[in-house]
Structure 1
C-alpha cells in the first residue's frame, strides 16, 4: 500500500515524551518510501531498497537503509515524534543547521544531511533527518575488547592494552583533539543554540528549549558566563525548594548549596570565557554535548577519527566546558553516575587525560595567542563535575 503510516491515532492515554513504542510500529515500507522520495533517480522500493537495521538510542530511533548501487543511509527519528511540539521543531532546525555549519567550516567528519522535516505530516508521520551512513565502528572498540563470539564487549583488560592497541589509542586521542580544537577557533558572543533563520547570514546564537517536567521550556541566550551559571544555579535551587520538604534545616541546606555553587562559578577560570586573558569581551564556542565513545567512529586499522555523530543539543558554551574539554569517557572518575565496577582505573584515566591535554595544547597553540583553550583541557573534568553538581 502507498498510504502514509498513521503514527498518531486517537490516544487512549497520555503518551510519554519519549515514545519508542509508536515508532516501532512504523512499517519498513514507510521508511523505504520516504528515502526513495528524496532520491533523484528511479528506484524500485521492493527490489533496490532494504532495511539493514533499526537501532534505538537514548532519544532517537535510527533506521539504516541500503540502496543498490547507491550506498547506505540513516533516517534519524526523534523519540518525541508522537508528542512533537513547535519547540521540538525549533531545536531540530538548529541541529540540522549546526551539522551543515560544522561540516562546512571545519574538517570534522560530520555526516552529510540529505533531507529533513521538522513536521509530522509526511509518509512516516514523524519528523526526521536523512543523512549518510558512516560505516565505521564506534571508538569503544579501541577501549573495550569485543567478547568472544562477537556478542557485545567487555571491560576486562581495558587497562592493559597491547602495544598495537595503545598506538591506535594515541592516534585516536590526537585525531580527536585536532578536530575539537577547530571548534574552539569559531567564536560566538552568546551562549545558546545556533539560529539559521537567515540562510544568507552567519548563524546567530539565540534561545533554545529544554524539557522540564516534560514541558518544553524556553531557555534564553546568555551574553556572559555569569548569567549562564546563575540561571542554572537558580533553577536547581527552585527545584530543591519545591521538593516538598519545608523544614528549616532542608531550606537552609538548599540555600547553602546555592551559595557554595555560586562561589565556585564566580572563581577563575569558570567566571569568564575569553580567547585570551587580555581580551575584554567574552566569546563562546560550539560544543558537542555527548562526546562519548559511542558517538565517535574510527578507522579500525589506525584509530583515526572517521565520523562524529549525534549533534542534537549542540550549542555554544563557556570555554572551560567547551570543545577543548576532555571527552566524557575520560571524565569517568569525576562523574557521579559511573559504575566503578566496569570502567577504567583512575591511573589510566589520569594518563590518558594528560595525553589528550598535551595533544590539545599542540592543536590550539598559535604564534598570536600562545596556548589557546588547550590550557583548560587538563582540569576540564573538574569543571564538568561542578556543572554535573547542578
Structure 2
C-alpha cells in the first residue's frame, strides 16, 4: 500500500526513546547510541566556552534525542535556555566510517559554510565540527544553531488559524522560491561535491575557498562524472521481473532525451572555446517538506539537511519543484484521492507548480533555466526517480508514455510490455523516441 510523502516525512525525525524504533536505531547508529548524555553536554559546554570567549551559558543538559535516516541528533540546552544542536552522521561508527563517508561529512560542513557566506539562505550556523573519531565523544560531529519554526510537513495541511489555508500555502511557496533563487548565482564546470580548494584539512581560514571534488555520498549516487549520460545508471530490481526489464529499456531511452546543460543565456554566456562544455549548478539535496522550516506567517526560517549536496545538471538544479507539489508524478506513492488529508489533488498541484514557477521568474529573472527548463522540471525529476527506484519506475513510465503518446493507462502499459518483448519494429521504436523528445523538448 502506498504512503503519502507527508505521512512519511512527518516522522522523519523520531524520538530515540521510542521502544518500537530501538532495533532499527541500533542497526543505523550502532555504538553511537551508547554515547552518554553527559558527553554531549560536556562537548557543548566546551564549544560554548571557546566560541563565547570563555563566558559560557551555564551548565548544559540534553533535552531532546532525535534521529533521522542519516543522522543522530541531540538538543542541548544551557541554563540561560540557549540551545545547541549536536548532529552525528549514521556513518560515524564501525566499518561504515570509510574515507568516502568522512569526505561526505566534510563536504556537508563546507556546503553549509559556503551557503551562509555567499547567500541569504537561512542555513544553520556551524559552531564547531570534527570529521574524525579522535575527540571527546569518539565520533564525527557538527555542533550548530537550532532553526526556529515548524516544518512545512507539519503545517501544509493544518495551516495557521489566522491565515486562510490557500494564502498560507502561497506564502510558503513564495518564500521558498525566494530562498532557493539564491543558488542561481553559482555555476560549475563539473559534477561533484564542494570541497576545500587544494587543502587536505579543513580549517576556519580556508572554509570559503572551495572547489568541486568527487561525489562523496552515503549512498552511491546516480551522478558520478561530468558525462552524466553515461553515469545515469538504472538500479536493478529482481532480474526475473519482466515488467522491470521492460521499464529499463524505456528509462534508458528517456535518459538519452534529457536536455543538455550546455545552452547559454545572457547571464551566463560561455566563451566560444567553451560553448560546448556543460555547466552545472547547486540544488537542495532533499527538497522535502520535512527540511523546510517556516514561521507562523509561512516565511522560511531555515533550510536544513545539506547531506550529500552535489552540483547537478541545470535541468535538475535550483529550478526543481519542492517535492510536495510534484507528488502526483510519483504515482506509486501518490495517495490521492484515498487520502485527502495528506495529499493535494492533481489540479491543486498543477496550480501550485504554476505559482511556484511564477515566483521563480520573479526572483531569478528570465534565465534559461527558469524560462525554458523549469516548466518540465517535475518530469525530469520523475525520470531520475524512475532510474533510481524500481518501486516507482513502472508507474512513472506509464504516466510519461501515456502523456507523450496520448494513450490510456492500459494502452501505455501494453506499449511498455511490447517494448520489453522486442515486439516493436525499429521504425516504431524510433517513432517512440521522437515522441519522447517532443514531450521533453526545450524551446530555444
Q: Is the 8 A contact 1:18 1:79 kept in 2?
A: no
What residue number does 2:139 align with? 126
Question: Per-residue displacement from partner, 1:15-74 (whole Å, max 9, x unpaired)?
Answer: 999533533322110101111121222558xx6212121111111111111123372110
Aligned partners of 1:210 and 1:219 also within 8 Å = no
Give me the CA root mean square deviation: 2.9
Alpha-carbon offset, residue 85 of structure 1? 1.6
Name 2:250's counterpart in structure 1: 260
Tell me by how many angstroms 1:139 deviates.
1.6
Segments of 5+ residues of structure 1 without an aligned counterpart are 1-14, 147-157
Find the counterpart in structure 2 of residue 318 from structure 1: 313
Which aligned pairs between 1:268-307 and structure 2 lie closer than 5 A? 270-276=259-265, 279=270, 280=275, 281-300=277-296, 302-307=297-302
**Aligned-partner Cα distance in 1 for 2:244–2:62:** 54
| 2:63 is equivalent to residue 52 of structure 1 | yes
Report which of the two has the higher share of strand. Answer: 1
Q: Deviations over 1:215-259 (max 9, x none)?
A: xx6988523xxx2132122x53xx45xx554xxx95x974x6555
2:218 corresponds to 1:222: no
Aligned to 1:38, what secondary structure does the other structure show? Answer: helix
CA gap of 1:131–1:200, structure 2 versus 1, over 3 A, is closer
Match for 1:378 among 375, 379, 383?
375
Higher helix share: 2
Residue 131 (structure 1) shift: 0.5
Distance 1:313 1:266 in 2: 25
Q: Show the counterpart of 2:29.
A: 20
TM-score (norm 1): 0.78
Report 1:1-390 matches (<5 A). Answer: 19-39=28-48, 40=50, 41=54, 43=56, 48-69=59-80, 71-83=82-94, 84-145=97-158, 164-198=164-198, 199=206, 202-210=209-217, 222-223=225-226, 227-233=227-233, 236=235, 239=236, 243=238, 245=240, 254=245, 257-267=247-257, 270-276=259-265, 279=270, 280=275, 281-300=277-296, 302-335=297-330, 336-340=332-336, 341=339, 342-365=342-365, 370-375=366-371, 376-390=373-387
Q: Is the 8 A contact 2:193 2:216 kept in 1?
A: no
The CA distance in 2 between the partners of 1:163 and 1:273, in whole Å, is 43
Counterparts of 1:275 and 1:134 in 2: how far apart (Å)? 37
User: Which moves more between the two structures, 373-382 or 23-32?
Assistant: 373-382
In structure 2, relative to structure 1, the CA distance for the partners of 1:260 and 1:220 (3 Å cut) is closer
Q: Deviations over 1:103-143 (max 9, x none)?
A: 11110000010111111122222111110011211122431
Equivalenced residues, count: 338
CA contact (8 A) 1:77 1:126 kept: yes
SS for the counterpart of 1:187 is coil
Distance 2:35 2:264 in 1: 48
Q: Kindly report structure 1 stretches of 4+ aligned residues shifted beyond 4 Å.
A: 15-18, 217-221, 256-259
Partners of 2:174 and 2:138 in 1: CA distance: 42
Q: Tell me by how many angstroms 1:322 deviates.
A: 0.8
3-state SS of 2:167 partner: helix
Residue aligning to 1:8: none
Q: Is the 8 A contact 1:118 1:127 kept in 2?
A: yes
Offset from partner CA, 1:320-346 (integer Å, 9 cap, x none): 111111111112111233444342211
1: CA distance, partners of 2:40 / 2:383: 42
| Equivalent-residue separation in structure 1 for 2:126 and 2:377 (angstroms) | 31
**Contact 1:265 1:271 survives alignment (8 Å):** no
Separation in structure 1 between the aligned mates of residue 111 and residue 134 of structure 2, nearest angstrom = 24
Alpha carbons of 1:211 and 1:94: their partners in 2 closer, same or farther (altered >3 Å)? closer
- Contact 1:38 1:115 (C-alpha < 8 Å) held by counterparts: yes
- Decide whether the 8 Å contact of 2:124 with 2:304 is kept in 1: yes
Q: 1:282 Cα shift? A: 2.1
- How far 1:165 moved relative to its partner? 2.9
Compared CA separation, residues 385 and 313, structure 1 to 2 (3 A): same
Q: Aligned with 2:311: secondary structure?
A: strand
TM-score, normalising length: structure 2: 0.69
